[in-house]
Amino acid sequence: MSDYCDLEKLPKKIDIFITFRYEEAETEAIAIQNYFVQKGFSVFVCPRSCPGEDLVPMIATAISTAKLVVLLRTRTYGKPTDSYGTYNEMMMTVKTKKDQFLVLQMEECSVPETELVIPHSIFYITWDENWKPGSPPPPEVVKGIESKLVQIV
Angle between helices 139-152 and 22-38 (to 10 degrees): 70
Residue 2 resides in a domain: no
Residue 87 resides in a domain: yes
pLDDT digits 0-9 by tens, 101-129? 888 775 677 787 787 777 655 666 666 66
Residue 39 resides in a domain: yes
**CATH value at residue 26:** 3.40.50.450
**Domain enclosing residue 124, as ranges:** 13-47+55-152
Looking at residue 52, the DSSP 8-state letter turns out to be: T
Rounded-to-integer distance, Cα 56 and Cα 65, Å: 14
- Which residues lie across from 66 on neighbouring strands? 14
pTM of the model: 0.84
DSSP sequence for 73-87? E-TTTT---SSS-HH
Residue 75 resides in a domain: yes
Residue 5 resides in a domain: no
Give me the number of domains the chain comprises: 1
Residue 8 resides in a domain: no
Residue 26 resides in a domain: yes
Q: What is the pLDDT of residue 1?
A: 44
Q: What is the pLDDT of residue 122?
A: 62
- Which residues lie across from 17 on neighbouring strands? 44, 69
Confidence of residue 35 (pLDDT cuts 50, 70, 90): very high
Per cent of the chain over pLDDT 70 is: 80
pLDDT digits 0-9 by tens, 49-107? 765 567 888 889 999 999 999 998 888 888 888 888 889 999 999 888 888 888 877 56
Would the pLDDT of 36 be above 50? yes
Average pLDDT, stretch 4-31? Answer: 84
Beta strand pairing call for 43-45 and 124-126:
unpaired
